[in-house]
A = this chain, B = another copy of it.
């Protein structure tokens, strides 16, 4: 690569500090209520600089989400293992990710999806293609039941995320992850493998 004349991209500190401020702000307020002006303020920077680096708010959001969300390894790891403990492994994976540093990005996507249409589509596609489709093939026996079973699993996991991280309902918000794994895992397991009610068995 030929070095062209001019200032080197040496000071990319500000670029990442914008990204950090954006991640925190999106996680705390969701896509709509997080403002570029506020993010720029948190990063100690002029709002126009955000546009200079990221183009617009949508691209900034995507840039924030691109880095940390990479479930290539985690998901298969959560799916392998005793089939009758898959429920526990799924909820444990969710809690582990959300309590980790990358959890801010996950919370940002989730919170945004609850109040914004295009981020909701983003989340749906991500969940469907990256998580549920794999889980369906690995764990659920009858393919015809997979959509309903995975959707039911999604209700329990989404509800846990809403209560613990969005609404911060006690004692859930302060509970140890393993407590929730032990309490919620079996219910997810039931959605995965136990017989569905007969009323569902009609096309």
Contact = CB atoms under 8 A, between A and B. Distances in A.
Interface of A: 30, 32-33, 111, 113-115, 120, 123-124, 147-148, 151-152, 154-160, 162-164, 166-167, 169-172, 175-176, 178-179, 182-184, 186-187, 190-191, 196-197, 199-200
Contact of A179 (B156, B176, B197): B197
A112 to B, nearest CB: 9
Q: How many copies does the complex hold?
A: 2
A7 to B, nearest CB: 38
Contacts of A167: 113-114, 120, 123-124, 158
14 contacts: A32-B33, A33-B115, A114-B114, A114-B167, A147-B171, A152-B184, A155-B159, A155-B162, A155-B163, A158-B163, A159-B159, A159-B160, A178-B199, A187-B187
A138 to B, nearest CB: 20
A155 B167 CA distance: 11
A72 to B, nearest CB: 24
A162 B163 contact: no
Contacts of A157: 159
A183 B196 contact: yes
A194 to B, nearest CB: 9
Contact of A183 (B32, B120, B152, B164): B152
Contacts of A184: 152, 155
A140 to B, nearest CB: 14
Nearest to A30: B115
A203 to B, nearest CB: 11
List of 4 A-B pairs having minimum Cβ-Cβ separation, nearest first: A159-B159, A182-B197, A155-B159, A187-B187
Contact of A170 (B147, B171, B182, B200): B147
